[in-house]
Structures are given as C-alpha cells and as structure tokens.
Amino acid sequence: MTAALPATLHALDLRHAHRLLNTGASVLIATAHAGRRNLMACAWNMALDFAPPKLAVCIDKATATRALLEGSGVFAVGVPRAGQAEMVFRVGSMSARDVPGQDKFTAFEIAHFPATRIDVPLVADCIGWLECRLIPEPAVQQAHDLFVGEVLAAWVDERAFADGKFRPLHDTPPDWRTLHHLGAGNFVVPGQQLQAGR
C-alpha cells in the first residue's frame, strides 16, 4: 500500500541528520594518564560485540579526553542516570582547558571511586560502568574519530539494572532512568514502556 507524502514532511539540513539517530543513552567517558584525568559526555556510542564485549565511542581530535586515551590505552564508560543531568551537561559543555590547574572531577566536585581493572576514576551514582581497553585502529581513529574498546569489567547498580537487563520502568525510580540527549542541553528519559510480542 502506497501512502501519500504527508504535508508535514520537509527536507532536513544534512548538518542535523545525525540527530535522528543520536538519541541513545548518553554516557560519560573517563580517562587518566601521566597524572592527569578528564571526564566528557558522549552521545555517540554503541555496542559492537558480545564475546568479548566491545563498544565504540566517538571522540573528537580536539578533546583532552582523546589525548589521555591515546596515551593510556584505557578508558571507562559510565552510564549516567536522569538525576545526573546537570552534571552531564556541565562536563559535556566545557573543555578541560576551561578549568586550568584542575580537572573536571575537582572543578565540579564529582564523586568517584577507582576502577578495578584500569587506572581510571569511575563516576559515583551512575547506573553502570564499563572498564575498557582500547583496541587500536589508527586509521579509523584518525579518519572518523571512532575508538573501539574491549570491556574488561562491568558494574551495575541494581536500582536500575538487574538480572542482566534494565528494570521495568514501574520498578525504577525516575531519577535512576537513562538519560538521552536531544541537543542544546535538552534531555529525555524513558517515561512509558511498551510490551510487544504477547
């Protein structure tokens, strides 16, 4: 069945095409190397493989995070919760160069604890954390700013994630739901759950 084009359909400027896909959970990327550490927000991230688990994150050449990651070969991915939206926005809106003499953990008083397999701080009160080892792909990193990591350890908070999956929304406190960035500081959190296949 062919449908007529709706009158509300309009061409999208290609500069904004990524925003149609970029509504997955935002994450925090923590790095540390040679006595320095940094934290950035990242909306461009995805899972890649099951065994061993792998993921990909996009990190621009101009970021301090990228220099630390390339120096250490490790990074941590934190999955922030809705209750951390202000902190995620702050660390995502500011460069490490904007806080001279300190880092974002110190400048924004971000509580953290040490990772277990890598020497990187993990942001406290996240839904979960992935400790990763960089799988070097120099050509891909240079051409596309895309970094692949193997997950060495994973941790979750049972208030949001239990038995290998996210808890049902009716059983998850609202400030423990995932955070999805829409652009310009606007976030959404899951507010309705649908069950298919019954």
What is the pLDDT, as a whole number, of residue 23? 67
Give residue-wise pLDDT tens across range 29-45: 999 999 999 999 999 99
Distance between CA atoms of residues 60 and 83, nearest Å: 27
Domain for residue 60, yes or no? yes
Per-residue model confidence as pLDDT tens digits over 54-89 = 999 999 999 999 999 999 999 999 999 999 999 999
How high is the pLDDT of residue 197?
83
148/151 Cα distance (integer angstroms):
10
Query: Is 0.85 topped by the overall pTM?
Result: yes
81 falls within a domain: yes
Give the distance, in angstroms, between the CA of residue 34 and the centroid of all CA atoms in the same chain.
23
What is the CATH classification number for the domain harbouring 47? 2.30.110.10
Quick check: 1 pLDDT over 90? no
| 194 in a structural domain | no
User: What pLDDT, in 10s, does the model give residues 126-153?
Assistant: 999 999 999 999 999 999 999 999 999 9
- The per-residue pLDDT for range 17-28, each reduced to its tens digit, is 777 776 689 999
**Residue 6 falls inside a structural domain:** no
pLDDT for residue 142: 97
The continuous run of DSSP H or E covering 1 comes out as none
pLDDT confidence of residue 22? 67
User: Is residue 14 included in any domain, yes or no?
Assistant: no
Rounded to an integer, the average pLDDT of 80-100 is 93
Range of the domain at 69: 25-188
Task: Say how far apart CA 130 and CA 108 lie, in whole Å.
Answer: 22
By residue count, the chain amounts to 198
List of E strands, 80-178: 112-114, 121-123, 128-135, 146-156, 161-162, 165-166
Lowest-pLDDT choice from 85-94, 120-129, 177-186: 177-186
Give the separation between CA 133 and CA 149, rounded to whole angstroms. 5
- Rounded CA separation 55/135 (Å): 10
Name the DSSP letter for residue 94.
Answer: S
Q: State percent of the chain over pLDDT 70.
A: 97
Q: Is the pLDDT score of 10 beyond 80?
A: no
Residue 117 has pLDDT above 90, yes or no: yes
Domain count within the chain: 1
In contact, 105 and 53? CB cutoff 8 Å: no
According to the model, what pLDDT value does residue 183 have?
85
Please tell me whether residue 146 adopts helix, strand or coil conformation: strand
- The DSSP output letter for 14 is G
User: Under a CB-based contact definition with an 8 Å cutoff, are residues 38 and 92 in contact?
Assistant: no
Domain assignment of residue 107, yes or no: yes
CA proximity to 66, closest of 144, 183, 170, 179: 144
Q: Is residue 7 situated within a structural domain?
A: no
Task: Read off the amino acid at residue 149.
Answer: G
Q: What is the pLDDT of residue 127?
A: 95
Classify residue 15: in a domain, yes or no: no
Average pLDDT over the chain, rounded to an integer: 92
